Amino acid sequence: MSGAIHFFDVDHTITSGSTGRRFAEAAARRGILKLRHLAIIPVNYLLYRLGSGGASIFEGEFPVIRGIERAEFEELANEVFDRRTRLALRPRLVGLIESLKAEGGRVVLATSSLDFIVEPIARLIGADDVLASSLEFVDGRCTGRIATALFGSAKRDAARAYAAGLGIGLADCSFYSDSIHDLPLLLEVGKPVAVDPDGRLRREARSRGWEIMYSVDHFFSR
């Protein structure tokens, strides 16, 4: 698919674990978040991995981060990347991305994670663009509200609009993801690839004959 767009999810696909969780833990250590705000993370994570409840992460307002400058978020995100996330990058996926770019393809990160969290990843791996969730900022300070939530069908719509802007249809694109939540976009691209898929996506991929890829050698790849 030379010249095509290759969309990649980030958490549990390009990286092991959650970039958002690493960032939240670092924010708590710095005092941006309180420890009590971390208590809900394991619950949300479990609901997300089970394929339900994930959208609730983006609902409502977050007064605790109101007034914080974007520059402070970016500084912390870069620190977390250097200390932790860089080590969580999956070599097999990074190598694949390098190969796709060498063939002339365009690599775009399409993630529910926040933009400033994944931008250091995009820079390192040479991604051409980032489609991500974002916080609302006014005069450089966070309002405590979500500006864009790239989750489920919203991620599909963003990828569709991005591709259309380049005169490309999603049927000529590929998408790599681990999660059943990304089914709307997986169903529309010409090459859907399930990477270390959760249980529901694994069943869906097998029933539809999609490629299943593992980030490490796996004895049960069929």
Q: What is the DSSP string of 133-177?
A: EEEEEETTEEEEEEEE---THHHHHHHHHHHHHTT--GGG-EEEE
Q: Are the C-beta atoms of residues 192 and 8 closer than 8 Å to each other?
A: no
198, containing H or E segment: none
**Count of CA atoms in the C-beta half-sphere (13 A) of 112:** 23
Residue 218 or residue 97, greater confidence: 97
42 pLDDT band (50/70/90 cuts)? Answer: very low
C-alpha gyration radius of the chain: 17
Residue bearing the bigger pLDDT, 218 or 194: 194
Indicate whether 220 belongs to any domain. Answer: no
Q: Pick the most confident of 31-40, 139-148, 196-205.
A: 196-205
Residue 64 has pLDDT above 90, yes or no: no
Pick the closest to residue 116 from 140, 96, 135, 89 (CA basis): 135
pLDDT, average across residues 92-120: 95
In a domain, 180, yes or no: yes
Determine, yes or no, domain membership for 24.
yes
Structure tokens at 149: 């939530």
CB proximity list for 212: less than 8 A, separation 6 or greater: 193, 194, 197, 202, 205, 206, 221
The answer to whether residue 70 is domain-embedded is yes
For residue 177, being part of any structural domain is answered with yes
Provide the domain limits for residue 72.
5-213
The pLDDT score that the predictor gives to residue 181 is: 92
Give yes or no for residue 126 having a pLDDT over 50.
Answer: yes
Residue with tokens 């809900």: 40
- Position 125 confidence tier, pLDDT thresholds 50, 70, 90: very high
Strand bridging mode 129-138 / 141-148: antiparallel
- With H, G, I as helix, E, B as strand and everything else as coil, classify residue 126: coil
Q: Is residue 219 part of a domain?
A: no
Statement: residue 178 has pLDDT above 90:
yes
Q: Is the pLDDT of residue 57 over 60?
A: no
Token pair belonging to 92: 């097999």
Q: Report the range of poorest mean pLDDT among 8-12, 33-37, 46-50, 60-64.
A: 46-50
Kindly state whether residue 174 falls inside one of the protein's structural domains: yes
Whether the Cβ atoms of residue 71 and residue 142 lie closer than 8 Å to each other? no
Check residue 31 and give its pLDDT. Answer: 76
For the chain, what is the largest distance between any 2 Cα atoms, rounded to a whole number of angstroms? Answer: 52
Closest CA to 105 of 178, 24, 8, 19: 8
CATH code of 159's domain: 3.40.50.1000
- At 68, the pLDDT band (50, 70, 90 cuts) reads confident
- The total domain count for the chain is 1
Per DSSP, the three-state class of 18 is coil
Of the listed ranges 17-26, 131-140, 148-157, the least confidently predicted one is 17-26
Per-residue pLDDT, 38: 43
User: At a CB cut-off of 8 Å and minimum separation 6, what does 168 contact?
Assistant: 4, 5
- Residue 222 domain flag: no
What's the pLDDT score for residue 175?
A: 98
Q: What percent of the chain has pLDDT over 90?
A: 67
